[in-house]
A and B are shown apart, each in its own frame.
Chain A
Amino acid sequence: MQETLVRPLSTDGASLLQIPLWRVRLKLFLRSIKTNLCLFSENPIGLVGVVLIIFFFLFMSAHPILMKFVWDPTIYDPVMGFESAIAEHPSAPSPGHLLGTDPMGRDVLSQLMWSTRAAFVLGLIAASVTAIIATTVGAVTAYYGGLVDTIFMRLADIIIMTPGITILIVLATLVDLQMIHLAVVLGVLAGFGGTTVIIKSQALTIKVRTYIEAARIAGGSDWHIIFRHIIPNLLPLAFLYMMFGVTTAIFTESVLSFFGLLNIRMSWGLMIYQTSVSGYLMDMSKWWLIYPASLSITMLCAAFYLVGRAMDEIINPRLRKR
């Protein structure tokens, strides 16, 4: 990214002044995206992940449209719906219900699609909270060092030492935990925990670069340096850990719902929990009650993880093939 910065500046100074700065920045930004996309598309593993994510995104977007135009809400609502035309529930897949119905007479496909949105929202909220906290804390601790550093690193130590799922299970049994709470708690835990340590070590290498020193000599304040020079350089890494964060968040939510500990309308984990409560967990002849939800969890988690790995190979040049 640094080499590309030089080119527009090396052109004639007078003509440069006529171009507004934001345009130069936009051009640079698009160019860096283009190079990174090229690098990314060389990696078939990352592409598998992207295709899966796009598939789930379309799958999720189709639900409101279907509900509005095709499906009758009284039958197909993921939580309140009931299929009265079929006498016995759970019923096997049929033209009206492509993935059958669950023991309470609701459409499994509709539940699956609705839960995709829940998974996306949860994962992205948790990962964004993580990224924001980890980048800010990592940059600030690396820049100031000293007492700030000690406090936040000890905090990170405690969080790393704490088994997250175990604590969340205990908390979820004692208090009423909703999806959005869980997303924020997961984000905060990861943000102050392991991710901060990784981002901080990266920030330490940026802090000693010459352009930071140049910014300081030019009279930039601490906050200016942190937010305009250090954090932008941390963003690729933060974005990478966002991908892994999404995986963790979706997995944790599914486990907690699987134990029936969350107060949410519908999710993949909850679908399996309801299967288990109604006693169909080991009944493989009713495969549509457990396979679709479990496979969706696995595939969406894997998709984000694959994208994260592919990005890792771009951001970390030591892993590149050439």
Chain B
Amino acid sequence: MRRYLIQRIGQNLFTFFLFLTLVYLLLDAQPGDFGNIYLNDSRLTAEQRQVIREQLGLNRPVMERYLSWLGSLFQGDLGLSFSNSMRPVISIIAERAPRTIILFLSVTILANLLGFAMGKMLAWRRGGAVEYAATIAGVGLFTVFVPWFALMMIWLFAYKFNLFPLGKFIDPVLWREATVEANTIFLRMMLTGLLTAAAWISWLFATRRFNPGWRKAARWVGTLIILTLPITYWATNGLGRYAADILHHIALPVLTITIVNFAGTMLLTRSSMLETLREDYIMAARAKGLPEAMIRDKHAARNAMLPTVTSFILALAFVMNGGVITETIFSWPGMGLTLLKAAQTQDIPLVIGSLVFTGALALTAHLGADLLYAFLDPRIRVS
């Protein structure tokens, strides 16, 4: 197993390196160069432009520039963003990446849990009218034109029912007198969220060894206690209303993308369950006289989980694809919107920075997938 892991990590790092090279060369091959935007000042003469270009190193050969870019990348320097008054790209990414990651992490988790549960039931009740209706609805959601669907959701929930704000990250009127920055609060919310999730999952694992008679009760009580802790923390520290404002803004995007994304997992789980249900061990479980729910949840669904896990991880790797669409529609100031704006204003350093972030995200997801596979699939674990 160690050999497998080392091999996969090496391969992934190599792929990431190739990705970086490709991104740099691809953008370098585009017409015009970084300097054109930066030097877009008509008062400069041709000679002055030449001097500045030389000072920026834009006249050097591609390989030299690539190597120096790679060198500064590993020192955490991604250059300056032209369209954000020369702010360092790395600080822009540090500010906006958490918003994208949190939005899509919560969406992906919710969508996968929901999709897995629904897909399990669909495969179990194969052939009925419910299944056909759910499959067609699922395919419809899976292939729906996301910008339009998101607009419908905004129109319905934000405009018609006035339940949620129309978009954006915070409400400027409320934050006018705030003493802390929105990002500080957001990061703190992230931290409490992660801690709560970690506590909850470890509690679920801890109760696995409990007596089945009162395991369920213990789980519920534990969940309630774990949930009250962060709520009291935010209610008492005086910043609660700001946190609530951010939550209010994130709710509609999360709802929308969850509805779009869960269908894919549902359809995948259904196919995977159908394959598993034909296995001999399911018949053996039936022959033993186990209750149907146990065969479904413990014998079939567990084994049908592997492709779902892969799709979950890959969904994390492709966050940016959906990110550009959703963040633009909801004007959510995350990395997707940043990338689109940067590309439209030809802010090449920020474009490259965003793409590097995307690649790093994909790399992390793929490494996670390999680790999970090694953990879940005994064929890999043992050999």
A-B interface, 8 closest residue pairs, ranked by CB to CB distance from nearest = A294-B148, A301-B143, A173-B343, A297-B145, A165-B321, A174-B30, A302-B143, A163-B321
The answer to whether B140 touches A298, judged by C-beta atoms less than 8 angstroms apart, is yes
Contacts known (A157-B15, A161-B362, A173-B344); A251 close to B143, Cβ less than 8 A = yes
Least Cβ distance of B350 to chain A in Å? 11
Interface size band for A: 35 or more
Query: Does chain A have a CB within 8 A of B358?
Result: yes
The answer to whether B19 touches A174, judged by C-beta atoms less than 8 angstroms apart, is no
Residues from chain A with a CB closer than 8 A to the CB of B147 are 255, 258, 272, 294
Contact with B along A146-185 (1 / 0, CB 8 A): 0000000010011001111111011101110000000000
A residues in contact (CB < 8 Å) with B: 44-45, 48, 154, 157-158, 161-167, 169-171, 173-175, 247, 251, 254-255, 258-259, 272, 281-282, 284, 290, 294, 297-298, 301-302, 305-306, 309, 312, 318-319, 321
| Nearest B residue (CB) for A162 | B19
Stretch of B46-54, B88-96, B244-252, B270-278 lying at the A interface: B270-278
Least Cβ distance of A319 to chain B in Å? 5
Residues from chain A with a CB closer than 8 A to the CB of B366 are 161
The answer to whether B132 touches A170, judged by C-beta atoms less than 8 angstroms apart, is no
The answer to whether A305 touches B142, judged by C-beta atoms less than 8 angstroms apart, is yes
Those of B139-174 within 8 Å (CB) of chain A: 139-140, 142-148, 151, 154-155, 159
Contacts known (A298-B145, A319-B274, A321-B126); A175 close to B159, Cβ less than 8 A = no
The answer to whether A48 touches B136, judged by C-beta atoms less than 8 angstroms apart, is yes
The answer to whether A163 touches B139, judged by C-beta atoms less than 8 angstroms apart, is no
Contacts known (A158-B19, A175-B30); A290 close to B148, Cβ less than 8 A = yes
Partner of B132, one of A45, A174, A175, A298: A45
Residues from chain B with a CB closer than 8 A to the CB of A282 are 151, 154-155, 159
Query: Does chain A have a CB within 8 A of B243?
Result: no
The answer to whether A170 touches B339, judged by C-beta atoms less than 8 angstroms apart, is yes
The answer to whether A45 touches B136, judged by C-beta atoms less than 8 angstroms apart, is yes
Residues from chain B with a CB closer than 8 A to the CB of A281 are 151
Residues from chain A with a CB closer than 8 A to the CB of B318 are 163
**Residue of A170, A174, A175, A255 with most partner-chain B CB within 10 A:** A170
Residues from chain B with a CB closer than 8 A to the CB of A164 are 321
The answer to whether A272 touches B275, judged by C-beta atoms less than 8 angstroms apart, is no
Query: Does chain A have a CB within 8 A of B218?
Result: no
| Nearest A residue (CB) for B351 | A170
Cα–Cα, bound, A281→B154 (Å):
11
| Nearest A residue (CB) for B352 | A170
Residues from chain B with a CB closer than 8 A to the CB of A255 are 146-147, 325
| Nearest B residue (CB) for A176 | B31
The answer to whether B343 touches A170, judged by C-beta atoms less than 8 angstroms apart, is yes
Cα–Cα, bound, A119→B148 (Å):
17
Cα–Cα, bound, A226→B358 (Å):
38
Cα–Cα, bound, A242→B321 (Å):
21
Residues from chain B with a CB closer than 8 A to the CB of A173 are 343-344, 346
Cα–Cα, bound, A189→B323 (Å):
20
Least Cβ distance of A127 to chain B in Å? 15
Least Cβ distance of B150 to chain A in Å? 11
28 contacts between A and B (CB under 8 A): A44-B132, A45-B136, A154-B18, A161-B366, A162-B359, A163-B318, A163-B320, A166-B321, A166-B323, A166-B355, A169-B324, A169-B340, A174-B30, A247-B143, A251-B143, A255-B147, A259-B328, A282-B155, A297-B148, A301-B143, A302-B142, A305-B143, A306-B136, A306-B139, A309-B135, A309-B267, A318-B274, A321-B126
